[in-house]
Amino acid sequence: IEGTVVLGEPRVMRIDGLRMNLVPTGSLLMLYHLDRPGLIGEMGQLLGQGNVNIAEMQVGRDAPRSRALTAVRVDDPVPPELAAQLRRIEGVESLHLVEL
């Protein structure tokens, strides 16, 4: 993990070599996945159906359609059943719930 401070606020700039620009606070979903069309949309649909609001989202990748990391800050708890549904999206390698 690489970071810096911008205007007095800590920022995560790189995770596992993938570029981000993430303020490390709150409730985060961290998804490693294949960068493919529709994956982010599927994730958003499931979160919306589960009444989980997305506050912020950052996607880091090396190249189009390669391995990517998406960090999603959410305003609401992600129930275990919803996390399991997200893990079943085609192309998702792993999902971690992080509280900062």
Tell me the pairing of strands 67-74 and 27-34.
antiparallel
Residue ranges covered by each domain of the chain: 2-99
Residues 33-90 have pLDDT tens digits of: 999 999 999 999 999 999 999 999 999 999 999 999 999 999 999 999 999 999 999 9
HSE-up of 85 (CA within 13 Å, CB side)?
14
Q: Token pair of 74, please?
A: 């959410």
Return the bridge partners of 58, or none.
71
* 76: three-class secondary structure by DSSP: coil
What distance in Å separates the CA atoms of residue 100 and residue 82, rounded to the nearest whole number? Answer: 20
Q: Are 21 and 58 a contacting pair, CB within 8 Å?
A: yes
Provide the CATH number for the domain formed by 2-99 in this structure: 3.30.70.260
